[in-house]
Amino acid sequence: MTENARAPRLTARSRALPPWTLLAAGAVLGGLLGGAYGTFKAPTYTATSYVVAVPTENSDQASALGFAQAYGRVATQLAVLGDAQVWAGVPVSTLRSSVQTATSPDAPMVAVSATSKGRELAADMANAVARSLTRHANDTKDSTHVELLEFSRAVKPAAPSSAPATVTGLVGASAGGLLGGLVLLVRPRRRPEEPVPAASVPSPAIAADVHGQL
Q: Can you list the domains of the chain with their CATH numbers?
A: 17-41+172-185 (no CATH), 45-152 (3.30.70.1130)
pLDDT of residue 48: 95
pLDDT of residue 91: 94
CA proximity to 65, closest of 97, 96, 109: 109
Report which listed range, 12-26, 31-45, 147-161, is most confident: 147-161
Tell me the C-alpha distance between 135 and 139, whole Å: 6
* DSSP structure class, residue 117: S
pLDDT of residue 194: 54
pLDDT of residue 14: 45
Tell me the C-alpha distance between 80 and 12, whole Å: 69
Contact assessment for residue 65 and residue 53, using Cβ atoms and an 8 Å cutoff: yes
> Lowest-confidence range among 52-56, 150-154, 188-192, 198-202?
198-202
pLDDT of residue 172: 67
pLDDT of residue 11: 47
pLDDT of residue 7: 47
Residue 106 predicted with pLDDT over 70 = yes
Rama region for 2: left / alpha / beta (φ>0; ψ in -120 to 50; rest): beta
Task: Output the pTM of the full model.
Answer: 0.62
Higher pLDDT, 128 or 21: 128
Higher pLDDT, 101 or 187: 101
> pLDDT exceeding 70 applies to what percent of the chain?
59
CA proximity to 106, closest of 70, 51, 66, 79: 66
CA proximity to 54, closest of 138, 172, 168, 163: 138
pLDDT of residue 56: 87
Residue 10 predicted with pLDDT over 90 = no
Contact assessment for residue 205 and residue 76, using Cβ atoms and an 8 Å cutoff: no
What is the pLDDT averaged over residues 155-172? 70
pLDDT of residue 189: 62
Q: Which residues on adjacent β-strands are paired with residue 51?
A: 110, 150
Q: Count CB-CB contacts under 10 A for residue 104.
A: 13
Measured between alpha carbons, how far apart are the two ends of the chain, in Å?
45
Tell me the C-alpha distance between 181 and 22, whole Å: 8
What is the pLDDT averaged over residues 173-191? 68
Tell me the C-alpha distance between 96 and 128, whole Å: 13
Q: What is the pLDDT of residues 39-88, one digit of tens each?
A: 556 688 999 999 999 998 888 889 899 999 999 999 999 999 999 999 99
